[in-house]
Amino acid sequence: MITLYTIGFTKKSAERFFTLLKDNGVKQLVDVRISNNSQLAGFAKGKDLEFFVKEICHIPYKHIVDFAPSKEFENSYRQEETNDWLEEFDKALAQLIEQKKAIEEQIVAIRTNLIKQMEQRGLEKVDSKQFSIIYTPARTIMRFDSKAFRIENEDLYAHYCKSYDKEASIVVRKKQQQKE
């Protein structure tokens, strides 16, 4: 399942913005603003945001205006010219999620093929015009089971937990289509 987070930068400090990205385990930031270089954007100005997100959160940044809402949709939403805003939102978000899913499937297929080709050729690293690709063989990784630790060591867990205020948010999940 794809987890999609949305985050705005207005009314947030840079510290709060980047902490939210890190604390929620965001793996990539996709900037969908049509104009990401406004002077009002502050730390979230296009090139600055790309630099900060890479340096602070160590995640890739992409500016993809294809995912931005149309001017008509944006205007109707802002001016509340229509009572169908939720339906328009529903259609627009569903379309974007489907596009994202298709793109992610294509990326997985390309990566799978690259792994296969590199294994067959015994390559650990290749450089193309646009990419440097490093092969890492399959391996076992150790992970800390914080849920089990919390259950078995409640006092110790509570001692080391840090609390923070979390801003209001929404979770959007695509419903499974019902069979007719």
Query: Is 130 among the domain residues?
Result: yes
The structure tokens listed for 44 are 């979230």
| Whether 107 contacts 100, CB under 8 Å | no
Tens-level pLDDT at each residue, the chain (180 residues): 677 788 877 778 888 888 888 998 888 888 888 777 776 667 777 788 888 889 998 999 888 888 777 777 766 666 655 556 778 788 888 889 889 999 999 999 999 998 999 999 999 998 888 888 999 988 899 999 999 999 999 999 989 888 888 777 766 666 676 665
Provide the pLDDT for residue 104.
92
| Whether 45 contacts 51, CB under 8 Å | no
Query: Is 5 among the domain residues?
Result: no
The whole-angstrom separation of Cα 131 and Cα 118 is: 14
DSSP state, 80? Answer: T
In the block, residue with structure tokens 């730390």? 43
The whole-angstrom separation of Cα 32 and Cα 93 is: 12
Query: Is 60 among the domain residues?
Result: yes
Provide the pLDDT for residue 7.
82
Query: Is 171 among the domain residues?
Result: no
Query: Is 68 among the domain residues?
Result: yes
Distances from the Cα of 29 to the Cα of 24, 33, 46, 116, 137, angstroms:
12, 12, 12, 28, 27
The structure tokens listed for 138 are 């399959």
Provide the pLDDT for residue 174.
65
Provide the pLDDT for residue 151.
94
Query: Is 142 among the domain residues?
Result: no
Provide the pLDDT for residue 154.
92
Which residues constitute the domain of residue 73? 14-136
| Whether 98 contacts 90, CB under 8 Å | no
Of the candidates 4, 45, 12, 1, the one whose C-alpha atom is nearest the C-alpha of residue 28 is: 4
Q: How many domains does the chain have?
A: 1
Query: Is 64 among the domain residues?
Result: yes
Q: Is the dihedral of CA 125, 62, 9, 163 positive or negative?
A: negative
Query: Is 141 among the domain residues?
Result: no
Q: What region does 15 belong to: left with phi over 0, alpha with psi -120 to 50, or beta?
A: alpha
The whole-angstrom separation of Cα 108 and Cα 111 is: 5
Strand spans (E) along 71-162: 125-127, 132-134
